Amino acid sequence: MLGNNIRQRLAGSIVLYGYGGVGKTAITTEFLYRVLRDKKDGKYTDVSYLLFYSSKDEYLRDNKSTGELYLDSA
């Protein structure tokens, strides 16, 4: 379940599409960053995986020693 007491998402998929250059990847990257950060802090114990596909040549990775997330080129 994602969200708070007012807005909750129990299951399903989210699709974000549109013309190139309007910020879809930036929005998605920020969303994934926040979910992964909150999951690490114990907020989302029931999230077992996140699937993200982009046609860009970048990956969202985590630094194993610091735990920080960063974009890495393919």
What is the per-residue pLDDT across 34-70, written as a single tens digit (0 to 9) for each? 888 888 888 877 777 777 666 667 777 888 888 888 8
Residue 24 is predicted with a pLDDT of 87
Note the pTM of the prediction, 2 decimals: 0.52
Using a 10 angstrom Cβ sphere, with 0-12 exposed, 13-18 middle and 19 or more buried, the burial of residue 44 is middle
Q: Distance between CA atoms of 50 and 66, rounded to whole angstroms?
A: 21
Q: Is the pLDDT of residue 3 over 80?
A: no
Contact 4, 13 (CB under 8 A): no
Determine the structural domain holding residue 21 and report its residue range: 2-73
Confidence of residue 17 (pLDDT cuts 50, 70, 90): confident
How many structural domains are present in the chain? 1
